[in-house]
Amino acid sequence: MCYAQRHEYFLVAQSGSSVSIHRFDLSGANAHRTSALSLLLGKHNQGVRRVAVRLFCFLKGEGFRVPEQNQPTVVAFQGVHGAYSEEACRQHFGEGVQTLPCNAFDELFRAVESRQATFGMQPVENSLAGTVATAYELLMEYDLRVQAEVIVQVRHALLAPKGTTLSDVRYVRSHPQALAQCERYLKRRGFQAVTHFDTAGSARDLAASPEPHTACIASALAGRLYALEQLEYGIEDEPFNFTRFFVIGIGDPPPAKRNKTSVVFAVRDKPGALHECLGAFAERGVNLTKIESRPRRNKPWQYFFYTDFEGHASEPNVEAALMDLMRRAALLKLLGSYPAAEQPRQPEPKD
């Protein structure tokens, strides 16, 4: 793999009400990095009775990770083959992309961190079910960056073993969320819902062990992979059913024509702290597209704020907003600046 070894660090030193930010490059050997950091820490501890020092290394990473020539791109996803996450992999990287199924989200992150996979395809929110909370906790925990966002329309298919007709079906198995998203369809058809641990897993298991009068709900991709008959397609109750994914990887992707940036920050314990932090964006005309609070695991009743906004961290107004946010926030981590996905058009409502 090829990596650009460049790190920019930001030291935020606070003494009383005075806050200063210092940018420095630690691109050399570890000894040089340690020496530079020691000098900075020493400088700000001399003659200061109590100094709060915070080190940020979030605005610049290792550089975009590019597979070497003839080395395939491997994309990790959670689930089994045929999952909607694998559909997202194919939509973004092409039908021929090599995928790596993982049992859990943290396994996906470890696969990318260990370079077993080039990228990971992590769902972060669904337009109906809301945020995937675990995704943001892992983004906070791991030192990986968002490389791109991918938006996939969720279209459910009714699948059954070859030779099964629609009139044969009495039972339909799938993940509880997929069953809930097709509840009106199932009632209209008179099918009995049977819960299964996974949508694509229900297709795989039904293909391996067919049961009479039984079908499943999964993706059309799962139907093709497991050679199941597609009895009906687009059976979801709500047509505006989209899942947003983050492509995660090592380093930072180059700026695109349209960019988004995602950060997480925590506020100080004082009145107006959140208003003050958000002012860093408003004062520079940076448009927020999402803000959501999540509990801090180690500090009860304190919260992280996960925020998306338009623009790239390298743009002057965005960089200025982030530098100002550093001064105002108790903690800041840049999750990534990345190419923004095209927003889906509103589908026609179903009768």
**pLDDT, tens digit (0-9, with 9 covering 90-100), for 134-189:** 998 999 999 999 999 999 999 999 999 999 999 999 999 999 999 999 999 999 99
Taking 60 as the threshold, does the pLDDT of residue 21 lie above it? Answer: no
Rg (CA), the chain: 24
Give yes or no for a contact between 174 and 183, defined as CB atoms under 8 angstroms apart. Answer: no
Residues 6+ apart with CB under 8 A from 92: 121, 148, 150, 245, 247
Two structure tokens written together for 175: 């993940």
Q: Which of 164, 199, 214, 243 is catalytic?
A: 243
Active site (annotated) includes residue 99: no
Taking 70 as the threshold, does the pLDDT of residue 29 lie above it? Answer: no
Q: Which of 56, 93, 245, 305 is catalytic?
A: 245
Domains of the chain are 1-57 (no CATH), 157-233 (3.40.190.10)
Region at 317 (left for phi over 0; alpha for psi -120 to 50; beta for the rest): alpha
pLDDT of residue 309: 98
pLDDT of residue 221: 97
Active site (annotated) includes residue 289: no
